[in-house]
């Protein structure tokens, strides 16, 4: 996407790359294919905007986090398919690391989970003959996708600090690779990229365009939403949902099931931290209603169906399809629909589906407020589900704060562009970016506290009923 100085979209190009599923639980990408696609869309977006590369001020990168690429330093070719963040092949490996759980929590700010990059590197080193030796000599390099793309664009082996904060290898306070974490995971330092700020000129492309920013997707959305002040929170509603709260220049350790992560770092300025609440199933529950139950024929129709009833009719839907993520982290949970009676219709179930997204958000917001000692005053929502007015109203109702949709919903790309523009002086400071942020819509709470409290109690009862279902 190409943006102008007012933060408006000038042109868009997109291309899908393959999702590779070699076995149940395994998810891979072909890093070479991603590189080809990126070159294609960059050229297409520039052509489509009617400008030439010389007029591009800077290039910023945003990427799916945690996905792990290993490549040969000399040939530049990947040594295996990239292991994607959803991949759970490292399950047994992660369980074997249980003795280090406290170390990872304290140093990396992360719980032990297959989600992060470190265990994926370890798996590749263990399973590929000869790879560990090559990695120790520095002949094989590791990077998340930001790092892989910067290598291709500039020839430098660097990563941005937000992506590094998702590896379980970086000390979240010093922002450098941590020897104890490396030892615990058995990852040689020689293969790791240099950790750099999210916004600085990493190098230039062959066309002379500065490559000036990289941010993990959720951090980029935080940046694109201009959540630059402590307590400012964004929530992105896709198939899952990710809430990030800016906690300022000190990392906050979560006591309530959230992740401590780096929000961004601009040049030499101190890093800004964030607490992250990850919800596995929100929008994908609507898709499930469409694809598996056939109650609706398009995702948007959930609002129409839910609008046929006044309330949930006493029915609650906990979509713990693969356990519960933040703040519960219960892998033994499975989905339940609670409170069914003969009165309940598909309209009530549709409503319960939307409420499930709102209540899961509420649980994460409560955890954030408790961890940060700050009370959320408004929620900046983005992503595809913000088109659903009923969901946005329910969110405002259950959170008891206004919910605001910004003018540009592509906040991840915008955030990367903003960071690159800051690094190159296209924008002077974050205040000038705030001036580009405009409210497109706002929903205010409308229900009473008594109703809110009663519904929250019922939701928690439904959560209780989802637990202790799946046994390993």
Interacting residues toward another protein by CB under 8 A: 6, 8-9, 298-304, 307-308, 310, 384, 386-390, 392-393, 396-397, 407-410, 438-444, 446
Q: How many helices (H) and strands (E) does the chain have?
A: 16, 22
- 335 vs 337: CA distance, rounded Å: 7
Residue 23 CB neighbours (<10 A): 9
Of 176, 72, 166, nearest in space to 116 by CA = 166
Q: Are 413 and 220 in contact (CB under 8 A)?
A: yes
Nearer to another protein, 374 or 394 (CB): 394
Nearer to another protein, 81 or 236 (CB): 236
Nearer to another protein, 27 or 296 (CB): 296
Nearer to another protein, 1 or 419 (CB): 1
CB of 408 to another protein, least distance (A): 7
CB of 116 to another protein, least distance (A): 33
Q: Are 9 and 407 in contact (CB under 8 A)?
A: no
- 245 vs 144: CA distance, rounded Å: 23
CB of 315 to another protein, least distance (A): 17
Residues 6+ apart with CB under 8 A from 90: 114, 119, 120, 122, 123
Nearer to another protein, 46 or 299 (CB): 299
CB of 220 to another protein, least distance (A): 18
Q: Is the Cα torsion angle 414, 420, 422, 425 positive or negative in sign? A: negative
Using N-to-C axis directions, what is the helix angle for 217-224 and 411-423, rounded to 10°?
Answer: 80
Nearer to another protein, 268 or 310 (CB): 310
Q: Is the Cα torsion angle 305, 307, 308, 312 positive or negative in sign? A: positive
CB of 300 to another protein, least distance (A): 4
CB of 173 to another protein, least distance (A): 37
CB of 1 to another protein, least distance (A): 11
Q: Are 260 and 251 in contact (CB under 8 A)?
A: yes
Nearer to another protein, 47 or 389 (CB): 389
């Amino acid at each position: 996407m190409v943006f102008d100085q007012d933060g408006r979209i000038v042109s868009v190009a997109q291309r899908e790359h393959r999702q590779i599923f070699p076995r149940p639980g395994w998810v891979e990408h072909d890093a070479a294919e991603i590189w080809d696609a990126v070159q294609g869309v960059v050229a297409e977006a520039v052509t489509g905007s009617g400008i030439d590369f010389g007029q591009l001020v800077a290039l910023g990168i945003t990427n799916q986090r945690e996905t792990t690429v290993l490549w040969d330093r000399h040939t530049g070719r990947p040594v295996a398919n990239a292991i994607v963040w959803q991949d759970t092949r490292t399950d047994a490996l992660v369980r074997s690391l249980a003795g280090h759980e406290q170390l990872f929590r304290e140093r990396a700010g992360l719980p032990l989970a297959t989600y992060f990059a470190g265990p994926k590197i370890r798996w590749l080193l263990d399973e590929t003959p000869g790879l560990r030796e090559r990695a120790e000599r520095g002949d094989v390099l590791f990077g998340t996708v930001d790092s892989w793309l910067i290598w291709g664009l500039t020839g430098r082996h660097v990563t941005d600090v937000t992506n590094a904060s998702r590896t379980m290898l970086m000390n979240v306070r010093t922002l450098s690779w941590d020897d104890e974490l490396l030892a615990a995971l058995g990852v040689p330092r020689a293969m790791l990229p240099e950790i750099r700020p999210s916004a600085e000129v990493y190098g230039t492309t062959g066309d002379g365009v500065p490559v000036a920013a990289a941010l993990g997707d959720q951090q980029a959305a935080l940046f694109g939403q201009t959540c630059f002040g402590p307590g400012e929170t964004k929530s992105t509603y896709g198939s899952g949902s990710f809430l990030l709260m800016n906690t300022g220049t000190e990392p906050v350790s979560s006591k309530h099931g959230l992740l401590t992560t780096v929000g961004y770092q601009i040049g030499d300025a101190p890093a800004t931290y964030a607490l992250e609440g990850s919800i596995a199933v929100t929008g994908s529950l609507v898709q499930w209603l469409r694809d598996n139950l056939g109650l609706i024929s398009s995702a948007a129709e959930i609002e129409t169906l839910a609008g046929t009833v006044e309330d949930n009719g006493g029915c609650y839907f906990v979509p713990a399809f693969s356990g519960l993520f933040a703040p519960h982290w219960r892998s033994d949970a499975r989905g339940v629909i609670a409170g069914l009676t003969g009165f309940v219709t598909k309209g009530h179930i549709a409503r319960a589906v939307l409420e499930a997204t709102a209540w899961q958000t509420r649980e994460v917001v409560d955890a954030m407020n408790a961890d940060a000692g700050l009370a959320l005053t408004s929620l900046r929502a983005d992503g595809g589900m913000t088109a659903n007015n009923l969901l946005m109203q329910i969110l405002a109702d259950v959170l008891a704060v206004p919910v605001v949709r910004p003018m540009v919903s592509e906040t991840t790309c915008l955030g990367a562009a903003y960071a690159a523009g800051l690094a190159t002086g296209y924008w002077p400071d974050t205040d000038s970016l705030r001036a580009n942020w405009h409210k497109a819509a706002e929903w205010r709470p409308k229900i009473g506290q008594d109703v809110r409290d009663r519904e929250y109690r019922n939701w928690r009862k439904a959560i209780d009923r989802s637990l202790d279902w799946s046994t390993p």
